[in-house]
Amino acid sequence: MLESKSALNLAVVVLLIACTNAYATCTPNISNTSNSSTSTLTSSTSGDCVENSGTITTSGDSGFGINSSGATSTNTNSGTITTSGNYGYGIKSTGATSANTNSGTITTSGYAGLGMHSTGASSTNTNSGSITTSGNMAMGFIP
């Protein structure tokens, strides 16, 4: 009986660790630490970890700070993302499972500009930073 309890307790601990780490901080394989980037951080590979700790500035329609489409992805902004133009998004993810986190600053201007947007069935948006949007149909985030 003692062996069965130990095995059950171990299984519970393993499950708790797996659930706790589902959206844990990952080691970025796509990142920006520059303070003068005009490029979008783009990922289409499942399991990618995308991080901005620098500055990203985009202009024109459909400009994105971080844009990921892999089946699973972790997107983190602790820097500054500024977009201007219609449909400009700070962080956009279209994978089935994604975790978007902003502890930095996201500013969008233009029609339908969004701070964070995820379309996955099991996606989360977490904001402890600043999101500022302006323009018709502009929003902070859509889960």
Measure the CA–CA gap between 29 and 24, rounded to whole angstroms. 15
The pLDDT of residue 138: 93
The pLDDT of residue 113: 94
- For 60, 114, 131, the CA distances from 102, given in Å and listed in that order, are 22, 13, 9
Q: What is the pLDDT along the chain (143 residues), one digit of tens a residue?
A: 444 444 434 333 333 333 333 444 678 888 888 887 888 899 999 999 999 999 999 999 999 999 999 899 999 999 999 999 999 999 999 889 999 999 999 999 999 999 999 888 898 999 999 999 999 999 998 86
The pLDDT of residue 25: 60
Boundaries of every domain in the chain: 27-142
